[in-house]
Amino acid sequence: MTPVQKLVALVALVVVLMATAAGVTWQVQDWRMGKELAEQAGQFQTDLSTISNAAAAQARTEQEKRLNIEQKLAAQDQQHTKELSYAQRSQALLRDRLATADVRLSVLLAEDPAGGCNVPSTPGAVGVVHAARRAQLDPAHAQRIIAITDEGDNGLIALRACQDYVRAIKHSY
Q: Which of 166, 165, 172, 173 is nearest to 79 (CA)?
A: 165
Indicate yes or no: pTM above 0.85: no
pLDDT at 142: 78
Do residues 98 and 142 make contact, with C-beta atoms less than 8 angstroms apart?
yes
Fill in the DSSP letter of residue 113: T
pLDDT band at 117 (very low <50, low <70, confident <90, very high): low
At 128, is the pLDDT very low, low, confident or very high (cuts 50, 70, 90)? Answer: very low
**How many angstroms from the chain centroid is the CA of residue 81?**
18
69 and 172 Cβ atoms separated by less than 8 Å:
yes
SS3 110: coil
**Kind plus residue range of the DSSP H or E element containing 96:** helix 3-99
Contacts of 67 (CB under 8 A, 6+ apart): none
Answer whether residue 124 shows pLDDT above 70: no
Phi (first) and psi of residue 2, to 5 degrees: -85, 160
Per-residue pLDDT for 73 more than 80? yes
* Average pLDDT taken over every residue of the chain: 82
Over range 26-42, report the average pLDDT.
Answer: 90
Average pLDDT over residues 32-45: 92
How is residue 146 annotated by DSSP? H
